[in-house]
Amino acid sequence: MTTGQKVSFQDIRNEVLARIQQRVWVPGSLLPTEHELAEEFGCARATVNRAMRELADRGIIDRKRKSGTRVNISPVKQATFEISIVRQTIEDMNAVYRYSLVHRSLNQAPAWLRAQLDLEDAAQVLHLNCMHYSDNRPFQFEERWINTAAVPSVVDADLTDTGPNEWLLTEIPFSNAEIAFTAVSADSKLSDFLATPTGTPLFQMERTTWFQDTPVTFVRMTFHQGYQMSTRY
């Protein structure tokens, strides 16, 4: 339903999407120009532009100067997952969050980690093992390495009450990261911490974080058995 007054960019976005879904405009075909659409909908070109830009961002259409706008032929769908801190995730499920620092040590970075983070040979890292509980049941086991050169203050940080993720966020907000998801088999350590038999398939997320080209941390988060990550699009 239009508001009756002006044509909103959402009206146009929805209408164009509807026409694509109803195959008025089929994949690969050329859509009218912004100018033509503006005329049809009786609005400014900027309004059409915003509507079309959103559809292009979603991968529905493909736009090129001069050649025009086409319905995307190979639909690359984008699934967006909201990655928040563990505490948030757990509290959002109305469960009680508990955190525990299991291990803490200051080491020379092992070779694989130096490669992963692109660190110098003598680089020092803070190695942490933590557990996150939801209603007192194991939720996630976190194994983390922090490049102390990037965050010197972490050496003196008290991480017994606050998890390293939350602590780092206060120091280094909005960094860049690379995330990877895998399935792993519970080894004896994971089996102990996550209270599940050895060999259980577990969902694992690895994340490498940089702050302005400086590698900050690498973390491996393994979730309890049966954990599922989902989203809509």
For 181, counting Cβ atoms within 10 Å of its Cβ (0-12 exposed, 13-18 middle, 19+ buried), the class is exposed
Asked if 55 interacts with DNA (CB under 7 A), we say: no
Beta carbon of residue 69, minimum distance to DNA (angstroms, whole number): 4
Binder among 14, 27, 53, 206 for DNA (CB under 7 A): 53
- Measuring CA to CA, how many Å separate 132 from each of 4, 75, 161, 170, 183? 52, 38, 11, 19, 19
Nearest approach, Cβ of residue 183 and a copy of itself (Å): 3
- Nearer Cβ to DNA (31/202): 31
Q: Is 64 a residue that touches DNA (CB under 7 A)?
A: yes
- From CA 180, how far away is CA 166, in angstroms rounded? 20
Q: Are 97 and 90 in contact (CB under 8 A)?
A: yes
Query: Which of a copy of itself, DNA, none interacts with 76 (beta carbon under 5 to 8 A by kind)?
Result: a copy of itself
x/- binding map, residues 31-50, to DNA, per CB under 7 A? x-xxx------xxxxxx-xx
**In terms of CB distance, is 9 or 167 closer to DNA?**
9
* CA–CA separation, 124 and 106 (whole Å): 7
Interacting positions 69-98 with DNA (CB under 7 A):
69
10 Å Cβ neighbour count for 4? 5
CA–CA separation, 212 and 111 (whole Å): 23
Which residues in this chain contact DNA in the complex, by CB under 7 A? 3, 6-11, 31, 33-35, 42-47, 49-50, 52-53, 56, 63-69
